[in-house]
Structure 1
């Protein structure tokens, strides 16, 4: 009897093991819930967005190559005016230009914070970067409306609303994201890389340029992609300075629009199930696909960097 009781006690799971099993189940439940939510969002947006083509009979070619956006009306050739090309072009223009403008500033700031003056950088620039991250989008929009738009109008001409104003606003908005991730990438470069380079006779700047930045290239590219993803999906701040004209951009100072600006302006003014509403859901589907593309690109860059290491 005593041996049987002892065997049962030994076979009985301890309190720590039960807690560990509960933790595993809780983590698995959270993971499945997140996966279900993400899958549900994708299915819901896809079903709404594809209704434009399957229910309303809009041609995919007309949607992606058309330049007239006025759902519910027809173009001179008799097709529905649901051309999304102006918004797609506007979104890519402000995103790419903002990334091109912010990347050199971000890399320079990160190099200063990690390689040139780490103490001063951590003391001054780190809080400033964190402050920029915490500023709401509407504040950026108001600043752009009050400062950037008049500056563009007085300097480059035009109304001040357009791709250029949106680029300047997004430049400031995505700069903290790229700076923070670039700093982490530079700090992740092993110290013996720098020591070996200096021991071989390289100067500090040669070490930074030839060794540190090259070793951190995958992380820097990931930071740029994350910044582009935020710029592509930004809505309110861009809407306030770009002009909200669903027209093909003629130049950087002419009023234009993005996918997000058209969505925020029109989603509350349409009837669910109508062509106008379905067309907006199609724009949302394009945004979702681009977000998935940016995430896939980040994953590919990370794998490439890990392979090189």
Structure 2
């Protein structure tokens, strides 16, 4: 009787996991079916390397190079801001913070992850944008720097949480051995603990970058919406998710423009997949290193 129940539970869990895989496969299949027809009339090189995005022209111009550069620039700049902040917060919470401070700070960090992206986008529009215009002389507060700042705030909770888990997994014996050899607490942190958790921290960085490059609402609201190559941090840009969100509702069904937006989705999917594969490799390396250490 007990074995029968265990078999039922195992089959049920397998079915749930399988349904998740089927849903993902269906989404990917639909994405490729709707996006690949564009390449029957436009070459992939023209699509990826083209400088002009004018879908309403006849014939339409579907060059996403400025959109691709904008997505990568926003992701890179937001990562430069979010990675040090997230990692240092994780180090403080796991290694230095007293219990009372940890009980206060950690829920607030996790609360950032629960904030809807539209709320952060609204804050970027009404708070950050006027600041950039008034104090940095930007022609428009909706620009690359604004989008990077807001995306950095969104990425910090992910980077902090995963990095903290990696730091917490470092054996206590390594800390005690370092202190016993005469190292200070700070030397133990940056010469022993952080290097031992580096693979897990790398996973946190990759996941944070995946969150930033796939974000839609924030870049739609605060990036400026200009499909051109940025020459400075204060120039408006239009990342790929913003183009999809802004234009899909007004696109004729099964038109070239429609297929071009799905082709952008394919590019985004491949970029996000690459980040996740790198994160998975780093996590696997971390687990193997931990096993060998044991």
| TM-score of Structure 1 vs Structure 2, range by shorter chain | over 0.9
How many angstroms apart in 1 are the aligned matches of 2:48 and 2:98?
48
**Alignment of 1:126 onto 2:106:** yes
The Cα offsets for residues 34-74 of structure 1, whole Å up to 9 and x where unpaired, read as: 121111111110111111102xx111111001111011426
TM-score (norm 1): 0.91
**Which position in structure 2 is the counterpart of 1:3?**
none
> How do residues 23-172 of structure 1 correspond to structure 2 at under 5 angstroms?
23-54=9-40, 57-73=41-57, 80-157=60-137, 158-172=139-153
Q: 1:294 deviation in Å?
A: 1.4
**Which position in structure 2 is the counterpart of 1:8?**
none
How many angstroms apart in 2 are the aligned matches of 1:155 and 1:67?
32
Q: In angstroms, what is the RMSD of aligned CA positions?
A: 1.3
**Which position in structure 2 is the counterpart of 1:204?**
185
How many angstroms apart in 2 are the aligned matches of 1:114 and 1:252?
34
Structure 1 residue matching 2:228: 3-state secondary structure: coil
- Tell me if the contact between 1:58 and 1:80 (Cα under 8 Å) persists in the aligned partners: no
Structure 1 residue matching 2:57: 3-state secondary structure: strand
Q: 1:156 deviation in Å?
A: 2.3
User: Which protein is bigger by CA-based radius of gyration?
Assistant: 1
Q: 1:306 deviation in Å?
A: 2.5
TM-score (norm 2): 0.95
How many angstroms apart in 1 are the aligned matches of 2:101 and 2:50?
49
How many angstroms apart in 2 are the aligned matches of 1:36 and 1:168?
36
**Which position in structure 2 is the counterpart of 1:10?**
none
The Cα offsets for residues 214-239 of structure 1, whole Å up to 9 and x where unpaired, read as: 00101111111111111011111121
**Alignment of 1:192 onto 2:173:** yes
How many angstroms apart in 2 are the aligned matches of 1:170 and 1:92?
12
- Tell me if the contact between 1:48 and 1:281 (Cα under 8 Å) persists in the aligned partners: yes
**Alignment of 1:263 onto 2:244:** yes
- Tell me if the contact between 2:52 and 2:61 (Cα under 8 Å) persists in the aligned partners: yes
How many angstroms apart in 2 are the aligned matches of 1:135 and 1:29?
32
How many angstroms apart in 2 are the aligned matches of 1:101 and 1:185?
20
How many angstroms apart in 1 are the aligned matches of 2:289 and 2:7?
37
How many angstroms apart in 1 are the aligned matches of 2:49 and 2:36?
17
How many angstroms apart in 2 are the aligned matches of 1:210 and 1:278?
51
Q: 1:118 deviation in Å?
A: 4.0
- Tell me if the contact between 1:114 and 1:121 (Cα under 8 Å) persists in the aligned partners: no
Of 289, 302, 305, the match for 2:270: 289
Kindly report structure 1 stretches of 4+ aligned residues shifted beyond 6 Å: none
Gaps of 5+ in 1: 1-14
Q: 1:80 deviation in Å?
A: 4.0
